Amino acid sequence: MSERTLVLVKPDGVSRGLVGEVISRIERKGLSLVALELKHVSRELAEQHYAEHAERPFFGSLVEFITGGPVVAIVVEGVRAIAAFRQLAGGTDPVEKAVPGSIRGDFGTEVQYNLVHGSDSPDSAKREIDLWFPNL
């Protein structure tokens, strides 16, 4: 069954020139791009996007990081797109969890600077797509 997910290439991924690499992996997996935008992220948007982490000790630095440079936001569509992109991304910690062959496993070293975001459930995907692409 086809579904949609929100992917972000985070500021570290954009500044390292990995946008094309991420898009290429999405396309080669067989998923489609529905919407794509280079965005400068406001503090409000960052805080809403990561609201579930508001009480975590890293929340402040996470918001600083996400607002620190442009991100590329992408709505991705396809069969099992939510889980499929999470698999492409790899685990949150690029060294301890993400395996080689995943985006984080191939290109990341630090847990905060882990290059990409992908929605983690159908409810998160709907909430995040509405937040980032209110006109879609």
CA distance 89 to 99: 9
104 annotated as belonging to a binding site for a ligand: yes
SS3 of 58-111: CHHHHHHHHCCCCEEEEEEEEECHHHHHHHHHCCCCCCCCCCECEHHHHHCCCC
Q: Which of 67, 112, 131, 133 binds ligand RTP (CB under 6 A)?
A: 112
Binding mask 39-58 for ligand RTP (x = CB under 6 A): --------------x----x
Task: Judge whether 125 and 2 are in contact, CB under 8 Å.
Answer: no
Binding mask 13-32 for ligand RTP (x = CB under 6 A): --------------------
Strand partners, 100: 102
Q: Which of 117, 125, 128, 132 binds ligand RTP (CB under 6 A)?
A: 117
Torsion angle defined by CA atoms of residues 20, 24, 25 and 27, in that order, rounded to the nearest 10 degrees: 140
Stretch that binds ligand RTP, among 17-25, 30-38, 75-83, 117-125 (CB under 6 A): 117-125
Cβ proximity to ligand RTP, 77 vs 120, nearer residue: 120
> Which residues are at the interface with ligand RTP (CB under 6 A)?
53, 58, 62, 92, 111-112, 114, 117-118, 120
What positions carry a catalytic annotation? 117
